[in-house]
Amino acid sequence: MLKAAVLVSGGGTNLQAIIDAIDSGVITNTKIELVISNNKNAFALERAAKHGIPARCISPRDYNSREQFNEELLAAIESRDIDLVVLAGCLVVIPEILIRRYPNRIINIHPSLIPSFCGTGFYGLKVHEEALKRGVKITGATVHFVDSGTDTGPIILQKAVEVKAGDTPKELQLRVMQEAEWKILPEAINLIANGKIEVVDNKAILK
Ligand code: GRF
């Protein structure tokens, strides 16, 4: 049984997609052991509580230094014997100590087709604003392993989404979430939970 910790910051629609996928059997062999938010007001925390999933807020604001926050975050994850850390709408910079401790065992959902519209400063609505500004006809979402860069780890899954004439950033964000994020994040977790993903030469390979 894969034990997952899900890190969130906001509405938690990606967390909900994971919860629903486990309930429906789309994801097998997996249990969400813990949800952690850096934002105490994140609706994601309510989603976790509603499903009886242990959830807590660990925010950098509550610690005297970033190092103390980083150590608390790592300790919270290690205390549950976690196999996979899932960043689902998580806006916190993941500490190097966590990345080193969980090599190719931290995954992130990014709302574009990496390497487009990613890297420092590209998160949430900003990603879709830039895609519309550039005039791309296709965008989408990417699930990737987290390494010490920003959105640079091995790509696990991607799914394309059509940009429609007249799309606002919000409309495009919702379509990318509905048609891509909420599908490929659960699919990636299921593949990992069932031993179907291997990283070779820094590329995620479907076994
Ligand atoms: C989504 O756009 C997701 O791609 C990004 O964070 C946003 C909110 O996600 N990573 P959620 O509703 O909190 O899962």
Q: List the beta bridge partners of residue 142.
A: 110, 158
Beta carbon of 38 within 6 Å of any ligand 1 atom: no
| Total length of the chain | 207
pLDDT at 26 (0 to 100): 98
DSSP string, 130-191: HHHHHT-SEEEEEEEE--SSSS-SPEEEEEEEEPPTT--HHHHHHHHIIIIIHHHHHHHHHH
Residue 111 CA to ligand 1 center (angstroms) comes to 8
Sign, Cα dihedral of 40, 43, 44, 46: positive
pTM of the model: 0.97
pLDDT at 115: 98
51 is catalytic: no
Q: What class is the 1-102 domain?
A: alpha beta
110-207: CATH superfamily: Formyl transferase, N-terminal domain (3.40.50.170)
Closest residue (by CA) to atom 8 of ligand 1? Answer: 89
Atom of ligand 1 nearest to the CA of 141: 4
Structural domain spans, the chain: 1-102, 110-207
Whether 1-102 and 110-207 share one fold: the answer is yes
Q: What's the CA-to-centroid distance between 13 and ligand 1, angstroms?
A: 7
**Closest atom, ligand 1, to C-alpha of 8:** 13
Spell out the per-residue pLDDT of the chain, length 207, in tens.
Answer: 999 999 999 999 999 999 999 999 999 999 999 999 999 999 999 999 999 999 999 999 999 999 999 999 999 999 999 999 999 999 999 999 999 999 999 999 999 999 999 999 999 999 999 999 999 999 999 999 999 999 999 999 999 999 999 999 999 999 999 999 999 999 999 999 999 999 999 999 999
Residue whose CA is at the smallest distance from ligand 1 atom 6? 89
Whether 146 and 108 have beta carbons less than 8 Å apart is answered as yes
pLDDT score of 138: 98
Q: Which of 51, 110, 128, 144 is catalytic?
A: 110
Residue 42 CA: nearest ligand 1 atom is 13
State the pLDDT at residue 45: 98
Ligand 1 proximity of 186 Cβ (cutoff 6 Å): no
pLDDT at residue number 116: 98
